[in-house]
């Protein structure tokens, strides 16, 4: 079935399903190391360093393959940046600011949900914080409130 479209899709689906059913994934996939990289020439100032998270090669390969496959089958909104190759954080922050500003200016409803992905298991409710305006439909309130 899936193998007809994507020859390795069945294997990836089985691995992902096993992790979801067991409510755990391999320590290799969960662990990451944070390292500091210098941004500018003067390493004596803390502001000249940035932290990045280095995860396992297996996790990076799986993430990249899943993102590539999702892009093939899913039509993403221009506002959905999680699976797109974009310049980075500054562009995403600028887009979010533009979306929220337009929402306020045009008096449209907006919902912003902050999800704690550490709790993102099938049997648990994601921790959320909600910023809402009066025009948010109640079904969305229930979804985001968990």
Model confidence pLDDT, tens digit, residues 105-135: 888 776 666 655 555 554 444 444 444 444 5
Q: Note the pLDDT tens digit of each residue in 63-78.
A: 777 777 776 777 766 6
pTM higher than 0.95 = no
Closest Cα to residue 8, out of 57, 58, 66?
66
- pLDDT > 50? residue 136: no
Residue 89: pLDDT band (50, 70, 90) is: low
pLDDT, residue 121, reads 52
Question: Taking a C-beta distance cutoff of 8 angstroms, is the pair 14, 33 a contact?
Answer: no
Residue ranges of domains in the chain: 1-74
- Report the candidate in 140, 119, 117 with the shortest Cα–Cα distance to residue 53: 117
């Amino acid at each position: 079935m899936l193998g007809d479209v994507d020859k390795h899709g069945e294997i990836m689906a089985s691995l992902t399903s096993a992790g979801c059913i067991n409510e755990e994934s391999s320590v290799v996939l969960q662990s990451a190391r944070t390292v500091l990289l210098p941004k500018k020439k003067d390493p004596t100032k803390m502001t000249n360093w940035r932290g990045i998270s280095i995860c396992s090669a297996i996790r990076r390969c799986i993430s990249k393959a899943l993102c590539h496959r999702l892009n093939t089958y899913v039509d993403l909104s221009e506002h959905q940046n999680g699976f797109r190759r974009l310049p980075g954080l500054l562009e995403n922050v600028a887009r979010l600011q533009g979306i929220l500003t337009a929402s306020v200016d045009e008096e449209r409803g907006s919902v912003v949900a902050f999800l704690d992905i550490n709790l993102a298991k099938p049997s648990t409710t994601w921790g959320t914080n909600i910023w809402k305006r009066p025009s948010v439909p109640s079904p969305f309130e229930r979804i985001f409130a968990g």
